[in-house]
Amino acid sequence: MDHSSFRDFTVKVNNGSGVIFMVSSSEYCYVLTAKHNIFSNNELSITRTLLDVNGHLFIETLNVIGEPYCHSDENKDAAIIKVRKVNLNDVIYRIDNLQESDFEFHLCGFPLVRTGSDGFRINKVNPLHQKIHGYIEGELVPTALQDEIIGQSGGGILSKTGESYFLLGVQKGMAAQDDIETLSRVTFMPLTFFDEIVNENSHALISLLPPFIDSFDILIPNIYHLDGFQVTKDLVREEFHAIAREVCKKITPQSIIGKLKNKLLICNEPEYNIYNIQLWTGFLEVLVLVKMHLPKGEEINVGYIDILNKKTMIVYGSVKKNWQESISLLYKTDLTNLIKGGCIYVVSSTDHKPTMTELRPNILKSIANVPARRIMVNNSEISEPFEDVKVKHIFDLQMKIINKNDLLCQVDAETVMETLENETRNIL
């Protein structure tokens, strides 16, 4: 896998390194680093070393906002620096549970031995165990001496899986401060160190969560791409976007997480995937259709989520190739909120546009390979889980709209809203 894109998230902080973390602000983002980097110079310098389309290096200087925020505990070498928001196409998802971090991780930074050249370096690192004060020890593979690592302190421990980026922690330094670290061990800080800085400075800092968690607004361009749609695609999409903007005023992903908690993920799904961008893009697509058909005067707010979850459940599941791989675990998930006639929409990590978006009961029963009596449902509502509850991929919403292209290709600005309401009435 190509890990060169880690460069985009990695910065030089004086004589050390740092990692960019996007948060829910239109004005700034964070650089997470080791606080000993900040005091290595009288002035604070943060730069990115990037490559243009021709492979030529160029330097981007980040604009620092105010003073750095350092951890108050002298034993925790963590610091957050506010910088003017930079141009990044991707966000990093955090991983907090070391036991769930079975990805391939890399320490990214700018070791001093490479000063004068490109400088950017990636070292594979295997997380091992926790240490005193909450630090984590990792092993570099292949081995590296201390002289080869100096300057990478403050760099991110990054992973890429599929199209998503993950951050496990920020490096402090070598595990042993000597000239030859024969075990090639490094120590890094978990993200909880940086959460503690945020809590200590809650008047000035916001949580380390992906920016869309505090507002669906950022996700609006991602919904209803309607690829293959003809003629009136832009007109139809703009109507969906207009409805989405109304939804955004009343509800946020964070408020839904607080309401549904563990009901957003398929059984055994790692907890960090509750912040997956595909999950919340799919959720917004559902909310747009719900909003379109709500009785006049009703609004989608946090209180409405309980009502929605009884009829329409949206869950996320990781798969390797086909979304149907998630069905077996889906039927081991808590489905007790659903009523008879309800529907489960599956958002999958891959297979975003399957040709088969709804599975018939006999197929569900075959794939699930679990007795109906062992499925966690409301038995007073549902007697035959495979027949009484529909299972669809989230792309089913778009597919049904695309299939109505012949009816929607004749709409104009005056008729698009009424036509969409009529033609999407029975999609959910």
Each residue's pLDDT tens digit, 43-57: 899 999 888 888 888
Q: How would residue 88 be classed by pLDDT, with cut points 50, 70 and 90?
A: confident
pLDDT recorded at residue 2: 55
Assess whether 118 and 79 both reside in one domain.
Answer: yes
Domain assignment of residue 206, yes or no: no
Which of 141-155, 198-212, 297-311, 349-363 is the least confident region?
A: 141-155
Domain assignment of residue 428, yes or no: no
Which residue's structure tokens are 């050249």?
117
pLDDT above 70 as % of the chain: 92
Residue 286, token pair as written in the block: 């559902």
How far is residue 92 CA from its own chain's centroid? 7
Structural domain boundaries enclosing 219: 211-423
Q: What is the C-alpha separation between 21 and 38, in angstroms, rounded? A: 17
DSSP one-letter string for 144-160: --HHHHTT-TT-EEEEE
Question: Is 60 exceeded by the pLDDT of residue 376?
Answer: yes
In b/e form, how buried is each residue of 344-354, taking b as 16+ CB within 10 angstroms?
bbbbbbebbeb
Which residue's structure tokens are 């750095």?
68
38 with 13: CB under 8 angstroms? yes
Q: What is the C-alpha separation between 224 and 238, in angstroms, rounded? A: 10
Q: How would residue 115 be classed by pLDDT, with cut points 50, 70 and 90?
A: low
316 with 347: CB under 8 angstroms? yes
- Residues 142-152: what's their mean pLDDT? 63
pLDDT in tens, 341-367: 999 999 998 899 999 999 999 999 999
Q: Which amino acid is at 306?
A: D
Assess whether 229 and 195 both reside in one domain.
Answer: no
Q: Which amino acid is at 38?
A: I
Q: Looking at 142, 167, 200, which one is the last position of a domain?
A: 200
Q: Looking at 200, 222, 241, which one is the last position of a domain?
A: 200
Assess whether 230 and 128 both reside in one domain.
Answer: no
Full-model pTM: 0.79
pLDDT recorded at residue 116: 58
Residue 232, token pair as written in the block: 């009136």
Q: How many residues does the chain have?
A: 428
Question: Is 60 exceeded by the pLDDT of residue 114?
Answer: no
313 strand-pairing partners: 344
Question: CB within 8 A of 274, min separation 6: which ones?
Answer: 257, 264, 265, 316
> Any alpha helices (H) in 175-324, and if so which ranges?
192-200, 233-248, 253-260, 277-292, 304-311
**For the domain that residue 80 is a member of, what is the CATH number?**
2.40.10.120
In b/e form, how buried is each residue of 270-296, taking b as 16+ CB within 10 angstroms?
eebbbbbbbbbbbbbbbbbbbbbeeee
What does DSSP say about strands 69-70 and 78-84: parallel, antiparallel, or unpaired?
antiparallel
* Backbone φ and ψ of 2, nearest 5°: -80, 120
Q: What is the C-alpha separation between 110 and 120, in angstroms, rounded? A: 5
What does DSSP say about strands 343-348 and 312-317: parallel, antiparallel, or unpaired?
parallel
Domain count, the chain: 2
pLDDT in tens, 300-333: 999 999 999 999 999 999 998 999 999 999 999 9
Which residue's structure tokens are 């990692």?
19
Q: How would residue 147 be classed by pLDDT, with cut points 50, 70 and 90?
A: low
Q: Which residue has the higher pLDDT, 163 or 70?
A: 70
- Residues 15-24: what's their mean pLDDT? 92
What does DSSP say about strands 390-393 and 343-348: parallel, antiparallel, or unpaired?
parallel
Assess whether 194 and 286 both reside in one domain.
Answer: no
Assess whether 286 and 390 both reside in one domain.
Answer: yes
Element (H, E) at 146: helix 146-149
Q: What is the C-alpha separation between 154 and 171, in angstroms, rounded? A: 5
Question: Is 70 exceeded by the pLDDT of residue 98?
Answer: no
How far is residue 104 CA from its own chain's centroid? 17
pLDDT recorded at residue 129: 86
Q: Looking at 151, 169, 200, which one is the last position of a domain?
A: 200
Assess whether 300 and 249 both reside in one domain.
Answer: yes
Domain assignment of residue 76, yes or no: yes
Assess whether 386 and 265 both reside in one domain.
Answer: yes
Strand, helix or coil for residue 271: helix
